[in-house]
Amino acid sequence: MNTRNLVLAAAAALALAAAAPATAGLVVVQQTSLTFSPNDITITAGDTVRWVRTSLSHTVTNGTGTSDPNVGALFDAPLNATTPTFQYVFTVAGDVPYFCRPHLLMGMTGIVRVQPDLSVGVGNDIAAPGPRLLAAYPNPFNPRTEIAFELEAAGAVALRVYALDGRHVRDLRLGDLPAGTHRAPWDGVDGQGRTVAAGIYVIRLDTAAGASSRTVTLVK
Ligand SMILES: [Cu+2]
């Protein structure tokens, strides 16, 4: 990429970021006795829900019950002494009921209502094809965050970090990837191996199908 294109790419990234500052979402659901608390939550696509065990042995299983044809299709995780937490990134808008297998009949159920993420920006409509950067987690971060992104089709990608002044800080992923959800960590280090200053950075994903941007914040 030549300097002019780099500047244009950075400017486009900033326009998207300025129009739609991204906030990473994390919602914690506590298991208390035979309940999930809170058991009815509303989040935004891209957010993470973390279930935390306090006692006994449970599961976190998507579906309305064992006869649901989609039971366990998204997650069916133990929540016990060995595995006291489970978390899942909800990327698709819609209601996701879930339950605990051992305690379904005692009413140990919950629901996650996932709203569409409207912060993705013009040209990145939920229904539109193209790449989608999901929420980075954690964000704000120190010393490391993980950026998740979805590709509708296989192909070449460039996942890059820019400073707010448009300076290219780091290449995170370059090259061909298959369709699907991918993750790339960023350790707050630039291309020369130096730890960057605290502040806001733009993560930009470019593919043949389009681009998607989000911001992350390094705190110190
Ligand atoms: Cu249970």
CA–centroid distance, 32 to ligand 1, in Å, is: 9
CA–centroid distance, 135 to ligand 1, in Å, is: 29
CA–centroid distance, 45 to ligand 1, in Å, is: 26
CA–centroid distance, 181 to ligand 1, in Å, is: 30
Q: Measure the CA–CA gap between 16 and 123, rounded to whole angstroms.
A: 10
CA–centroid distance, 54 to ligand 1, in Å, is: 11
Hey, where are the domains in the chain?
Answer: 3-20+121-218, 26-115
CA 36 vs. chain centroid, Å, equals 22
CA–centroid distance, 58 to ligand 1, in Å, is: 4
Domain 3-20+121-218 has CATH 2.60.40.4070: yes
Q: Per residue in 101-157, pLDDT tens?
A: 999 999 999 999 988 877 655 444 444 567 888 888 888 899 999 988 888 888 878
Residue 55 pLDDT level (bands cut at 50, 70, 90): very high
Domain 26-115 has CATH 3.40.50.970: no
194 by Cβ neighbours in 10 Å (0-12 / 13-18 / 19+) ranks as: exposed
Q: Where do we find the tokens 């579906």?
A: 63
CA–centroid distance, 114 to ligand 1, in Å, is: 23
Same fold flag, 3-20+121-218 and 26-115 = yes
Which pTM does this prediction carry? Answer: 0.48
CA–centroid distance, 9 to ligand 1, in Å, is: 49
DSSP string, 170-207: EEEEEEEE-SEEEEEEE-SB-TTSPBPPSEEEEEEEEE
Q: Measure the CA–CA gap between 47 and 28, rounded to whole angstroms.
A: 11
Q: Per residue in 153-182, pLDDT tens?
A: 888 787 888 887 667 788 888 777 888 888
CA–centroid distance, 82 to ligand 1, in Å, is: 15
Q: Is the pLDDT of residue 192 over 80?
A: yes
CA–centroid distance, 41 to ligand 1, in Å, is: 18
CA–centroid distance, 47 to ligand 1, in Å, is: 24
| Amino acid at site 170 | R
CA–centroid distance, 203 to ligand 1, in Å, is: 39
CA–centroid distance, 92 to ligand 1, in Å, is: 26
The residues near 98 (Cβ < 8 Å, ≥ 6 apart) are 36, 60, 61, 62, 63, 75, 109, 110, 111, 112
The confidence score (pLDDT) of residue 15 equals 45
Residue 47 pLDDT level (bands cut at 50, 70, 90): very high
CA–centroid distance, 84 to ligand 1, in Å, is: 12
CA–centroid distance, 57 to ligand 1, in Å, is: 6
